Amino acid sequence: MISYFEDGALKYARQKENGSWSIETLASTSPSPSWAGYRTSQALDNKGLPHLVYEDAGVLRHMYWDGKTWHKQTIVTSGAQRFVTRPSP
């Protein structure tokens, strides 16, 4: 299994038993002036189902296959994250 970016999209390829590849386009990606804003990593869960984490021009996203369909979540939006602190009592 391979996850990669091509032609403005996140793609996922799996090798079939006959040696050929099945390629899916999972999501469109945002334009970025460099490839530094595009990374992808994958892991299999305890059921052997794929999970992809990828950076799309500064936005961190998670996609996973539940055995029937792909699901997409945004983990961190781009830009600086603000944390609110409360004064100690």
Per-residue pLDDT tens listing for the chain (89 residues): 999 988 889 999 999 999 999 999 999 987 766 656 678 999 999 999 999 999 887 788 999 999 999 999 999 886 555 444 556 55
81 located within any domain: no
Structural domain total, the chain:
1
67 located within any domain: yes
82 located within any domain: no
Cα–Cα distance, 89 to 71 (Å, whole number): 42
83 located within any domain: no
Q: What is the span of the domain harbouring residue 38?
A: 2-76
pLDDT for 83 equals: 47
85 located within any domain: no
pLDDT for 17 equals: 95
pLDDT for 37 equals: 60
CA distances to 30, 37, 60, 76, 79 from 84, rounded to whole Å, are 29, 27, 21, 16, 16
